[in-house]
A and B are shown apart, each in its own frame.
Chain A
Amino acid sequence: MENNFPRTGVFICDCGLNIAGTVDTAAVTEYAQSLPGVVCVVHNKYTCADPGQNEIRKAIGEHKLERVVVASCTPRMHELTFRACVAQAGLNPYLMEMANLREHCSWVHAGDPAGATQKAKDLVRSAVARAHELQPQIEPEVDVTQAALVIGGGIAGIQAALDIADGGMQVYLVEKEPSIGGLMAQLDKTYPTMDCSI
């Protein structure tokens, strides 16, 4: 049976007590072992920290992992972190999938640990199922146009434009009013130095 599925590693994160304070991560770890294709499950206190990432890289080599599932926080936070991590171990970064046990589970179901644990198992199962279907991808590379646009010519826009231009790049500073300066130009003195605004 297992042979039909890509060899998958699951990495369950406690995030200190952020996840483990509500979700029974040991139970989720045990459950993950029963999922199809899963050949290794690692339970960590902080998967995003160096030791946690080392475990992922080590397991990819040791278990010849073809897919990695990280069950931790929102992918909007650490998807790029773990993509880079698996890539360092030679796995295509698009073969990594995340399950959001923190923002979407432990933090919002603090009063229902049993329900949250059940949900965490579901989220891991769903992520493993998706991981099996993932395909390696090559990210297209594009050239970056060596210029920047700053919208708004108040103090923030002026300062940003100067910094970028001093760094050698072309800047377009777009201001709606007929002069740059913004609201600051209307101030007489500014605190804490009590000096002129213009």
Chain B
Amino acid sequence: MMDAGRHPRIKVLVSSEVIDVSGAVGNFHVKVRRRARYVQQDLCNSCAECTKVCPVIIPDEYQMGLASRKAIYIPFPQAVPSAYLINPEDCLGNNPIACGKCLEVCEQKCIDFDMRDEILEVDVGAMIVATGMEAYDPTEITEYGYSRYDNVITSMEFERLICAGGPSAGHFVRPSDGERPRRIGFIQCVGSRSSRYGSPYCSNICCMNTVKDTLLLADHYPDTDAKVFYMDIRAFGKGFEDLYLRSRSSGVRYIRGIPGEIEEDPQTKNLRVRVENTLAGELEQHELDMVVLSVGVRPRLDSNTVQRLLTLSRTSDGFFLEAHPKLKPVDAPTRGIFLAGCCESPKDVKDSVTQAGAAASHVQVLLSAGRIRIDAGTPLLEEADCIRCGRCAAVCPFHAIHWQRGGVPEIIEAACSGCGCCAAECPVDALTMRHSTDEQLKAQIDAILDEHPEDKLLTFACNWCSYAGGDTAGTARLQFPVHGRLVRTMCSARVSEDLILYAFEKGAPLVLVSGCHFADCHYINANRQTVTRVERAWDRLEKLGIRPERLHLEWISAAEGQKFAEVMRVLDEPRAQVTAEEIAHTRKVLAEERKRREGRKEKMRAAARKKREAAADARAESSAGAAASVAGPAKS
């Protein structure tokens, strides 16, 4: 912590949150909001005079609410930066007339109630997400009485109570009476490996944390009678089995069975725990002075915000998805973004440090390259065909197309991420996505539907989510009918109404357009346009007498292999129900419709051309007139 705080090349921005990210790998532009701390960080010398006079007393988050702090405070003695701050919600003196006691005693004159939040903008080439996790709150497990019984605490509260810097200065006491508990029970898997409470996965760290806690107790208070109620003890890491055996040999009793209930004696505040000892095959009752709930780990509740800002994905357990579980365990699916620590999965300090080192080295590799190549996926504009309508600029999620009324749109390649939303929106096909042209996509559709089109479920799948969801289904060996045929686009917004109609014209019984969930879209919000396009296509199909139910739209994330398989299974029945007659009718209707649409496009292009020519003529005429009027007086 201290090293990071004083490193000349690390700028620590605390009380800060990322609020906006733009750009792409190599050149991200990030906006950070730094909340006002009302104490000038550089001037404050942590003398603590302000805290002494502050009249506001509130629970101390750092001490898990087991102690109190003031409205002006330092989070903990070793905090980095080592400076006080004021919580504006708690402080009386935001209007200094109301209180302002701290202002009077501060010799450094570093308290400043006029401080405001700041927006900082930074340019970086790469980013690491290390947003961590949250401990499970066991209040919902009413059988254990957490928050109802004083002496039922969580493993996080245990940490504070045993710590020399804790609320009881390291004297391990129980909350009800401040006495030292002699009989202590630990309950494992609280909020982990459960279909009822918390999460179904193993939280990884709680077994060893409890082993550690029992050893701390054995060290500080050898006469403690500690019992651990467990399902399995997972001591799989280097040196872990040794610790576990040390704990057992120190006299800690490990009882295989998870208690169903805790009861409190209202007089003594002692706790009675009933448990089925599954090794002995007996029901047991244990009288304890204190119970520690060994709580699991869950994704941070604010993960959604980070996910949205950085277009990350999450696995079904809620942790951030890596690009590949074996080969790219620290890469996010978006290039230039890496994952470290518990935001990716529950892990202990050693694994967090290891993963952080791996992520840092990936960043180094990227930054030290100096120059990198990016995918050639940008659009090309055929200026002669462009009708200067500006719709491409209006739908571009990256503002990579600049357009002024009546002008030719200007494509800023560096800002473009290649979603293809603009090309799909262009009403006259004047934009071509390099490496995802209409011709390429149509050639694929033709080839797929060339033989037995009635057997094919033609699926447009976006690269980042739906196509990847199909990959996840494959990796998990989920089984489903063979009829799906995927056409990969970078974003579902690349799929134009024309392409959908083309697939039906070529004989597709069913067409599925699939993309990322809204929050997951790798092109900010381009998939909102997907909805508009599919809705337009539904309308068009209905008007042409083609059942719109044959066009489907599904959101499938990269993690949702199950959903991908399910969609493939569910859509197989409506696909099989489309008859040969219906397909033949659709082909005929849409072939005519295509001619009409092509004709309309050509008319639009011609009209725009004509208008431009007329305007050019008018300009030429007026400049000729101007030249004549200039020439006139010269002659005379």
Residues of A within 8 A of B (CB): 74-77, 94, 100, 102-105, 107-112, 115-116, 118-119, 122-123, 125-130, 132-135, 137-192, 194, 197-198
Contacts and interface: CB of A to CB of B under 8 A. Distances in A.
Contacts of B401: none
A196 to B, nearest CB: 9
Contacts of B360: 159-161, 163-164, 167
Interface in B62-96: 62, 64, 74-76, 78-81, 85
B163 interface: yes
A178 B126 contact: no
A182 B396 CA distance: 38
18 contacts: A76-B467, A104-B484, A107-B477, A109-B482, A126-B485, A142-B27, A145-B27, A148-B126, A149-B127, A150-B127, A156-B340, A159-B352, A171-B10, A173-B4, A175-B16, A179-B80, A188-B163, A191-B243
Chain B interface extent, by class? 35 or more
B473 A143 contact: no
A175 B132 CA distance: 11
Contacts of B126: 144, 148-149
Given A137-B434, A140-B378, A141-B372, 10 more contacts: A108-B478, A122-B448, A126-B487, A129-B443, A133-B440, A140-B374, A142-B26, A155-B352, A158-B3, A179-B79
B435 interface: yes
Contacts of A188: 159-160, 162-164, 166, 216
Contacts of A157: 128, 130, 132, 340-341, 356
B10 A165 contact: yes
A108 B479 contact: yes
B159 A142 contact: no
B450 to A, nearest CB: 7
Contacts of A171: 7, 9-11
Interface string B175-207: 000000000000000000000000000000000
B151 to A, nearest CB: 19
A139 B127 contact: no
B577 interface: no
A197 B367 CA distance: 31
B145 interface: no
B352 A156 contact: yes
Interface string B417-455: 000000000000000001101011101101110100000
> Which of A118, A156, A192 is the most central at the interface, judged by chain B CB atoms within 10 Å of its CB?
A156
Contacts of A118: 482
Given A108-B473, A161-B10, A192-B243, A128 B378 contact: no
Given A140-B374, A194-B215, A145 B80 contact: no
B356 A155 contact: yes
Interface string B228-268: 00000000011110110000000000000000000000000
A63 B482 CA distance: 34
A189 B484 CA distance: 54
Scoring B27, B122, B343, B349 by chain A CB atoms within 10 A of each residue's CB, the highest score goes to: B349
A146 B4 contact: no
A174 B13 contact: yes
Contacts of B349: 155, 184, 190, 197
A143 B16 contact: no
B511 interface: no
Contact of A167 (B26, B355, B364): B364
Nearest to A107: B474
Nearest to A170: B9
B612 interface: no
Given A126-B485, A129-B443, A170-B11, A138 B376 contact: yes
Interface string B313-325: 0000000000010
B117 to A, nearest CB: 13
Contacts of A109: 479-480, 482
B245 to A, nearest CB: 12
Contacts of B356: 155-160, 163
B359 interface: yes
A181 B75 CA distance: 10
